[in-house]
Amino acid sequence: MLTPVTDADGAPFWEYAARGELRVQACADCGEPRFPPRPCCPHCRSFASEWRPVPGRGRVWSYVVPHPPLLPGYAEQAPYNVVVVELAEHPRIRLVGNVVAHAGARLDSVDPGRLRIGARVRAVFSGGLPQWVLA
Amino acid sequence: MAAPGRAPGIKDAVAIVGIGQTAFARRLAEDERTLACRAVLAALDDAGIAPGEVDALASYTMEDTDEVELAKAVGFGDLTFFGKVGYGGGGSCATVAHLAAAIACGQATVGVAWRSRKRGSGPRPWTNTTAQLPTPAQWTRPFGLLRPADEVAMLARRYMHEYGVTRDHLFNVALACRNRANQNPAAVMYDRPLTREMYMTSRWISEPLCLYDNCLETDGALACVVVGRERARDCRQRPVYVHAAAQGLPAQHHGMVNYWTDDPLTGPAWTAARHLWRQSDLTPRDVDVAQIYDAFTPLIPLSLEGYGFCARGEGGAFTERGALETGGRLPVNTGGGGLGEAYVHGFNLITEGVKQLRGTSTAQVPGAATCLVTAGEDVPTSALLLRS
């Protein structure tokens, strides 16, 4: 399985995720959240940023169900779902992830037939990655 | 007249005067560099221009043959302009745009653009698990969103949900490309007709996209030659003028995983189109035939909207009643496109546009005088408006 190849801007996201916290980068001057992380605020051009805790509630914006050929670790769990989740508090912040039966469950642990665009989901954490369960 | 604050531009200042290609196949024996040389020499021969006269080169990324190797192998003269456009399949039309700009402002006189790939028999970029990936991959690949097909399928699902686009609409796209490939002896799918039943029962690649929503994996190379309009009149072939050219990288765009802008369903095509039409004497209604980048079927309805052939959300409905077929409202991808002729990162769409305006396409649109050619939607893109 692939682990995130982080960069300086993205590393805090993964450090918080490893502690079971969902945080997004926000401008420390104008307060606008932004994703993916980057050095400078595109709204006010401030270089000051902070990592703001978010409650981890969202809705499915879209989803796909990949089938092989896939990398071995993924092929073994296919077909599975990959979702884009729109955060309830910040609808323009969308996170790619997987809807699973419970934290740490396999990628194919939820029947893709149960997924719908607009479905409510809640963040859980496993192995340093945020995952989502149906709320 | 140029728009206020804009230079006069490149309108009809240059023409494509030569095109060349190798065979297309799942597997070719020769390596990429050899194929590139063959395509470039064929294009120069088509134009009637000696390799020693070439002084400008343009290519796009994911091209392993570099300028030094190509120039040395085929014996170009001294080069005074060379550039490489980023973002893979979004760069195809931009190569011609860059040559046009260089020639129009006197930086060079004879330009060559090319693409050589062994994607049919070579490795696929997404299978690499060890190399440092581009930054956005940290937000997608760990979750199993691994391949371009998965990334585009995510947008396609949302697009289908918002606008009622159906798999039948995507089939219309796949069928139009395949039907044109069935008329083109050079196409990989020349003798392989497609039916609705084959489409609807084919295996999934990434739901909602099935096998036939995905382009071919092809070995092959193509090239074209660009010169100024004066010089073009003396060349062997009828000139095909670059009427307008554009690139597009929208504000806050994120590459193929463009899920984070306010409106991910209006991608780079919209940005490129605004600039393209602003420079042009033509409107979408004046376009006789279009070559629209088709790595995946949903890119065509999205592009039809972006380039203004229909309103937002109407791209699926536009494909109904044979609109994309020969004799339809807008015949597309008349050589078969990436879905049916060859997937060579869209360069075959440029050469097919030239063939249409020369009157030599295997699926000729009678009297075609204008052709839109586009590069990949979803990635920073480019487009050409060609006319005879």
pLDDT value at B132 more than 70 = no
Which residues on A lie below 8 Å from B136 (Cβ)? 36
pLDDT digits 0-9 by tens, B373-382: 999 999 999 9
Pure H helices in B91-246: 92-104, 148-163, 167-181, 196-201, 229-232
The band of B39, judged by pLDDT with boundaries at 50, 70 and 90, is: very high
Q: Do B146 and A74 touch (CB under 8 A)?
A: yes
| Token pair recorded at residue A71 | 């990398």
Chain B nearest-CA distance from A110, in A, is: 15
Active site residue B190: no
Whether residue A95 lies within 8 A of chain B, CB to CB, comes out as yes
Q: Answer whether B197's CB lies under 8 Å from B175's CB.
A: no
pLDDT at position B167, please?
98
Closest among B345, B239, B321, B336 to B291, alpha carbons compared: B336
Calculate mean pLDDT across residues A124-134: 97
Whether residue A119 lies within 8 A of chain B, CB to CB, comes out as no
Whether residue B285 lies within 8 A of chain A, CB to CB, comes out as no
Active site residue B343: yes
Mean pLDDT (chain B) is 95
pLDDT value at B129 more than 80 = no
| Residues 6 or more apart in contact with residue B366 via CB below 8 angstroms | none
- Nearest chain B Cα to A76, which residue? B144
pLDDT digits 0-9 by tens, A68-111: 999 999 999 999 999 999 999 998 899 999 999 999 999 999 99
Classify the phi-psi angles of A104: left when phi > 0, otherwise alpha if psi is within -120 to 50, otherwise beta: left
**Pairing between β-strand B56-60 and β-strand B81-85 as defined by DSSP bridges:** parallel
Percent of chain A scoring above 70 in pLDDT: 100
Give the one of B143, B204, B252 whose C-beta lies nearest to A82's C-beta: B143
Burial of A119 (0-12, 13-18, 19+ CB in 10 A): middle
pLDDT at position B121, please?
85
Closest among A119, A24, A116, A18 to B142, alpha carbons compared: A18
Whether the ipTM is more than 0.95: the answer is yes
pLDDT value at B106 more than 90 = yes
Chain B nearest-CA distance from A71, in A, is: 7
pLDDT value at B262 more than 80 = yes
Which residues on B lie below 8 Å from A97 (Cβ)? 143
pLDDT value at B133 more than 80 = no
Closest among A77, A60, A78, A55 to A133, alpha carbons compared: A60
Q: What are phi and psi of B204, to 5 degrees?
A: -75, 145
pLDDT at position B130, please?
62
Q: Do B137 and A5 touch (CB under 8 A)?
A: yes
- Tell me which residues of chain A, numbers 17 to 56, contact chain B at a CB-CB cutoff of 8 Å: 35-36, 42
Total beta-carbon pairs less than 8 A apart between chain A and chain B: 105
Calculate mean pLDDT across residues B155-175: 98
Quote the pTM value. 0.96
Calculate mean pLDDT across residues A54-76: 96
pLDDT digits 0-9 by tens, B264-294: 999 999 999 999 999 999 999 999 999 999 9
pLDDT at position A91, please?
87
Dist. CA A125–CA A22, nearest whole Å? 9
Whether residue A132 lies within 8 A of chain B, CB to CB, comes out as no
Percent of chain B scoring above 90 in pLDDT: 90
Chain B nearest-CA distance from A73, in A, is: 9
Calculate mean pLDDT across residues B55-59: 98
Whether residue B214 lies within 8 A of chain A, CB to CB, comes out as no
Q: Answer whether B94's CB lies under 8 Å from B85's CB.
A: yes
Whether residue B44 lies within 8 A of chain A, CB to CB, comes out as no
Calculate mean pLDDT across residues B76-97: 96
Burial of A52 (0-12, 13-18, 19+ CB in 10 A): middle
Q: Do B260 and A7 touch (CB under 8 A)?
A: no
Among B127, B138, B160, B256, most A C-beta atoms within 10 A, so best to mutate, is B138
Catalytic residue among B87, B163, B212, B293: B293
pLDDT at position B9, please?
84
Calculate mean pLDDT across residues B7-16: 89
Calculate mean pLDDT across residues B348-376: 98
| Cis peptide bond upstream of A53, omega within 30 | no
pLDDT at position B1, please?
47
Chain A nearest-CA distance from B285, in A, is: 34
pLDDT value at B6 more than 70 = no
Dist. CA B382–CA B379, nearest whole Å? 9
Dist. CA B244–CA B247, nearest whole Å? 11
pLDDT value at B259 more than 50 = yes
Give the one of B144, B252, B259 whose C-beta lies nearest to A84's C-beta: B259
